[in-house]
Amino acid sequence: RDNRTVAEYRLACVAYRMGDSTGAFKQTDEYLRKHPADRRGGNLLLFKMNVLAKRGAEAEAELESTREKIGRHAKRYGAATDIAADNILTDFYLRQGGNDKAKDRYRHIVMNFAEVTREYIEDHRPIPPALERGHDKAATQLASIAIKDKDYAEATRWLNIVRYDQNMKRRARLML
């Protein structure tokens, strides 16, 4: 049974990689229906979000719905998947001019980072550098938005928590 589950997951992944979004979405829906408790479903939903984000404004509702699905099952999919979904959505919002929505998501990334790291530590796994960069990127973006709003105290607060990625740390110091 597990080999079949892995094969179904891989088929959906291949559909995404081949650019067959219709087939990939169908495979993802079928996978989630058959294997609702499987952690890999979160990865498929992230792939789906990436495809939807490239479609632009007309895909916003479906993108947000997919993000919410990941959020409802964050324990199952893991905090890393939850933060990755936030990153996809915030990048989408910024491209579409939705700064307020992006700010809310960036705050979510930064504020939930402690929970994410706790999960990795409890599982005796190293914290992926991409997660640390995601945290620092979110804090830097929040600072940039605060600077545009001329809220320098808020910007300083966000810049002072940039601490993992060396390039982001240098950028934060320059912004201070």
Nearest C-alpha neighbor of 65 from the set 81, 49, 84: 49
pLDDT digits (tens, 9 = 90+) for 58-80: 999 999 999 999 999 988 998 78
Phi-psi map region of 92: left, alpha, beta (phi>0 left; psi -120 to 50 alpha): alpha
Mean pLDDT by 10 residues, the chain (176 residues): 89 95 96 94 97 96 96 87 88 88 89 86 88 90 92 95 92 88
Confidence (pTM)? 0.77
Handedness of CA 57, 59, 61, 63 (dihedral sign): negative
Q: How far apart are CA 144 and CA 134, in angstroms?
A: 15
